[in-house]
Amino acid sequence: MPGHGDHWETLYSPEEYIQEKLPRDLKTGQLVCRAPCIDVEDGTDRTEQVACLRWGGEQLANQIMVVSNSAKQSHFLFSGYPVALDGADVDVTISRVEPWEHGIEGWVHGSVTTEGASISFFDTMYFAGSAALQENDVARFRVAGLAYWLRPIQLRSFEVKDGAMWEWEKQRRMEAGESPEEASRPVVMHMTGAAIFLPRTGDQCDEAQFQGVIETLDTFEHDGQRIYRMDMVLMRPGEDEFRMPVYASERALKGYVPQLGEDVEGVMWVQGRRPEADAGLASPARG
């Protein structure tokens, strides 16, 4: 069963969050919205409510989900995860939505760009109406990535001395007038400037290994540590480009200070939400 233990590690150690931050977030978090949900605790056919609380700022927050038990006149902690609120608005053509147990959380699987590049992400406001999305619906989501780690790229170039690429380049060189001996030199492949997005599968389908060039760089404070927000192109399907902000905490950077224009790589948790979902129930998608 999927969960959020690893996701908190983009900002904190699990122990730090549970022991120090969670009690504060529950006590002082601001109510964002409420929505109906199933009876999670007792498993009856009662309709209960899930309340969404947030602690943080306008760009990044800790989000806590609390579910009611009307029979006991009580509430209990259901879930929690960090949310990147300042993402990129993209139109997603839905392939399918995949609810987690209880239907309050879930993944969205779809495609973006005119070339139909595939993407899967965790919907941070799934409970607010995303379950109604159908195949081929088009819905606008605000997407972003939270880095588990991020660093300058380690492999900037490499040589290819055999295989299809080398054979093709050798042939091209000979057609350009080089001797077979000259044309047989290695092909140098440069990794700088590349856009790479490699999603994982299974219960980690909302995570991806990535590489990109930092195009914009913004910094702000969240809970005592500096956060870097970096826009970068992550996919270039056909003639199109897919751009998304990546957030990285000082914890994730491990001493590295990002620089504008630098090639970086890492692993991220991909998330999104429909912008209108904070009102409680998202509007219908476009067919």
Structural domain ending residue among the three candidates 148, 170, 190: 190
DSSP string, 154-195: S--EEEE-SSHHHHHHHHHHHHTT--HHHHTSPEEEE-TT--
Structural domain ending residue among the three candidates 83, 110, 125: 83
Poorest-pLDDT segment among 32-46, 48-62, 183-197, 241-255? 183-197
Average pLDDT over residues 22-47: 96
**pLDDT at residue 287 greater than cutoff 90:** no
- What pTM was computed for the model? 0.89
In a domain, 162, yes or no: yes
Residue 114, pLDDT score: 87
Q: What is the domain extent for residue 173? A: 157-190
Query: How many domains in the chain?
Result: 2
Poorest-pLDDT segment among 12-16, 112-116, 164-168, 247-251? 164-168
Residue 235, pLDDT score: 96
Residue 85, pLDDT score: 97
Structural domain ending residue among the three candidates 83, 106, 141: 83
> Three-state SS for 92?
strand
Q: Rounded to 5 degrees, what angle do the CA atoms 138, 6, 143 make?
A: 25
**pLDDT at residue 115 greater than cutoff 80:** yes
Residue 55, pLDDT score: 98
In a domain, 178, yes or no: yes
Average pLDDT over residues 31-38: 95
In a domain, 25, yes or no: yes
Residue 93, pLDDT score: 97
Residue 286, pLDDT score: 62
In a domain, 247, yes or no: no
Close Cβ partners of 202 (under 8 Å, ≥ 6 residues apart)? none
In a domain, 47, yes or no: yes
**pLDDT at residue 173 greater than cutoff 90:** no
Q: How confident is the model at residue 283 (pLDDT cuts 50, 70, 90)?
A: low
Close Cβ partners of 193 (under 8 Å, ≥ 6 residues apart)? 213, 263
CA distance 278 to 273: 9
In a domain, 263, yes or no: no
- Residue reference for tokens 């239907």: 103
Q: How confident is the model at residue 220 (pLDDT cuts 50, 70, 90)?
A: very high
Average pLDDT over residues 68-72: 96
In a domain, 201, yes or no: no
Residue 187, pLDDT score: 75
In a domain, 267, yes or no: no
CA distance 191 to 157: 5
82-114 confidence digits (pLDDT tens): 999 999 999 999 999 999 999 999 999 999 998
pLDDT above 90 coverage of the chain, percent = 78
Average pLDDT of the chain to the nearest whole number: 93
